[in-house]
Amino acid sequence: MNYFKIKKYDIANGKGIRTSIFVSGCTFHCEDCFNYEAWSFSSGHKFDEDAKKELFDLLGDEQCKGLSVLGGEPLMQGQELLDLLKEVRLTFPDKNIWLWTGYYMNELNDLQKEIVSYCDYVIDGRFEKSQAYKKYLFKGSGNQTIWQRQENGEFVVSEYNDM
């Protein structure tokens, strides 16, 4: 898995002060994508042990409320992202995980469903330029939905969805 950047003290991608990782690789190529530089799966840097240490050091900051995973397309990262999220959840059980994906929840395969099972919030749906008529808090266009995982593991539409 490659990543385009790791961002410290991100306040735009999820609630609170966060650490964000922007993974590389996406085949959706949404018109006016804010992160088109990360479309290539080979862009950025290899997510190696040094990158993982940097990410975990940032997550260890008590001001950091959690991890935000964006892209590129996170759900095109497969087993590597699943392994990372499992380790984040195990190491930082009190931190929450937000994930942005161009897939809709009803399009996910079994591996992608397992990946999102480690997330507290999932913002789904491809960015639609024609529906970006409003400045949303945590999503780019009106067709996207912010889902929140419940204690039973099911996802419901979040209170953040209409903000």
What is the domain partition of the chain in residue ranges?
2-162
Residue among 128, 145, 120, 137 at smallest CA distance from 69:
120
Residue 18's pLDDT is 98
Among left, alpha and beta (phi > 0; psi -120 to 50; other), residue 125 is left
Structure tokens, 154:
């099911």
H helices of 12-133, in order, are 49-59, 79-91, 110-116
Task: Pick one of 3.10.105.10, 3.40.50.2300, 3.20.20.70, 3.10.290.10 as the CATH number of 2-162.
Answer: 3.20.20.70
Widest Cα–Cα separation across the chain: 41
Residue 34's pLDDT is 75
Tens digit of pLDDT at every position of the chain (163 positions): 999 999 999 999 999 999 999 999 999 988 887 787 888 999 999 999 999 999 999 999 999 999 999 999 999 999 999 999 999 999 999 999 999 999 999 999 999 999 999 999 999 999 999 998 788 999 999 999 999 999 999 999 999 998 7
Residue among 69, 64, 77, 59 at smallest CA distance from 122:
69
Neighbours of 114 (CB within 10 A): 14
154-160: long-range contacts, CB 8 A cutoff, minimum separation 24: 155/105, 155/116, 155/122, 158/121, 160/15, 160/121
| Separation in Å, CA 33 to CA 5, 30, 146 | 16, 5, 18
Residue 37's pLDDT is 86
Residue 85 phi/psi, 5-degree rounding, is: -65, -35
